[in-house]
Amino acid sequence: MTTRRNFIRKAGLVGAATLAAPSIARAQEAIKWRFQTYAGSALGEHVTKPVIDYINTAANGELEIELFYADQIVPTGELFQALQRGTIDGVHSDDDSMASPTPLQQFGGYFPFATKHILDVPVLFNQYGLKEIWEEEYAKVGVKWLSAAGQDPCNFNTTKEITSVADLDGLRLYTFPTAGRFLTQFGVVPVNIPYEDAEVAVQTGELDGMAWSGITEDYTVGWADVTDYFLTNNISGAWIGSWFVNEERWADLPEHLKAIVMAATEAGHTYRNQWYWGGEAALRANGDKLQLRSVPANEWAEVENAAKVFWEEVAQEGEVHQKVVNIFKEYNAVINQAGAPYNFE
């Protein structure tokens, strides 16, 4: 009995000591990412930074993302290559600006008249099949595509008045590669310069303006301070932009952190929806820097009809091109049949 009591007593002491010992938790080193957006700092404050802030807060120190704005690490046209080789870990951009080496390159940004407003983009991706196409094509080139969303329409802000299609002739405009390719048939001269140089280029006379955004961005980034007119006609109803991550970096991320990144991305989409939609209306109605001008609808139909020809040209470039153009056709047939407010008529 004595031996048994001694054994129980000693075992109890050991157990108590074990329970009472302080646990030594070794903090795991944070995963650090470098992330670059196509947007300059003033615009990036609204279109990219809210997502990065969300992730950095919700990840509780496990994932820390450093945000860089347009051209700060690499030029926007080199974003894709930098993402592939791991120079940067994540990107917010359109396929067109970052020179995506996929058939999707010219469909990002502003594909002429593919959309009429901001909500068309998530519908096209989530209900009409673009999501699966984007996932598949980027998987082929070793980049993880996360999500796409719409932003503002592609209008014109210029130093010269535009009241007819003929007024486009000779305008030197900062614009997207595919938009520029489309607009050259109307005499527009596309100019490719770094994003942050566009404002100064207007002041020096190198540019006559931009075909890059809606009116919200014009006021936000300072372009409304150096141009005089805003053309209410657009060549696309919404920018198509995406979030991308280096494939290896995404694979290494724990599942709960992947969930945080995706939740933050979707929350960012929601914020931009209201920021742009409200901004376009408020600044057209109350803005005091840009004078509104319009080309009559029957004349602007010339530009819209040219887009249909452009679609057919692009569709002939490959199987994926044809598939995407067919989706745009299908969706536009639906909203045109549905009538207002879907087709704005």
Domain match, 135 and 159 both: no
> Does the pLDDT at position 220 exceed 80?
yes
pLDDT single digits (tens) 12-57: 444 444 344 443 343 479 999 999 999 999 999 999 999 999 999 9
> Does the pLDDT at position 326 exceed 70?
yes
pLDDT single digits (tens) 116-167: 999 999 999 999 999 999 999 999 999 999 999 999 999 999 999 999 999 9
Nearest to 285 by CA among 344, 223, 215: 215
* pLDDT for 54: 98
Given the structure tokens 């995963």, which residue do they identify? Answer: 31
Domain match, 117 and 139 both: yes
Q: Cβ neighbours of residue 169 under 8 Å, at least 6 residues apart?
A: 186, 187, 188
**Residue 129 zone, left/alpha/beta (φ > 0; ψ -120 to 50; rest):** left
Domain match, 200 and 308 both: yes
> Does the pLDDT at position 219 exceed 80?
yes
Tell whether 24 is covered by a domain.
no
Domain match, 141 and 269 both: yes
Domain match, 70 and 212 both: no
Share of the chain above pLDDT 70, in %: 92
Tell whether 167 is covered by a domain.
yes
Domain match, 175 and 320 both: yes
**pLDDT class for 343, splitting at 50, 70, 90?**
confident
Mean pLDDT across the chain, nearest whole number? 92
Structural domain boundaries enclosing 78: 31-152+238-286
Number of domains the chain contains: 2
> Does the pLDDT at position 4 exceed 50?
no
Please tell me the distance from the alpha carbon of residue 263 to that of residue 148, in angstroms, as a whole number: 13
CA distances from 79 to 131, 280, 322, 345 (A): 21, 29, 26, 38
**pLDDT class for 278, splitting at 50, 70, 90?**
very high
Strands (E), the chain: 31-37, 63-68, 90-93, 143-150, 155-158, 172-175, 189-191, 209-213, 229-231, 240-246, 291-293
Domain match, 301 and 206 both: yes
pLDDT single digits (tens) 71-81: 999 999 999 99
Reported as half-sphere exposure (CB side, CA atoms, 13 A), residue 194 has a value of 13
CATH, residue 89 = 3.40.190.170
Q: Cβ neighbours of residue 286 under 8 Å, at least 6 residues apart?
A: none
Please tell me the distance from the alpha carbon of residue 175 to that of residue 217, in angstroms, as a whole number: 14
Let me know the angle formed at the C-alpha of 160 by 154 and 162, rounded to the nearest 5 degrees. 60
Q: What is the pTM of this model?
A: 0.89
- Main-chain phi, psi angles of 287, to 5 degrees: -65, 145
Return the bridge partners of 36, or none: 68, 91
* pLDDT for 345: 55
Domain match, 106 and 195 both: no
CA 124 to chain centre: 15
Q: Cβ neighbours of residue 136 under 8 Å, at least 6 residues apart?
A: none
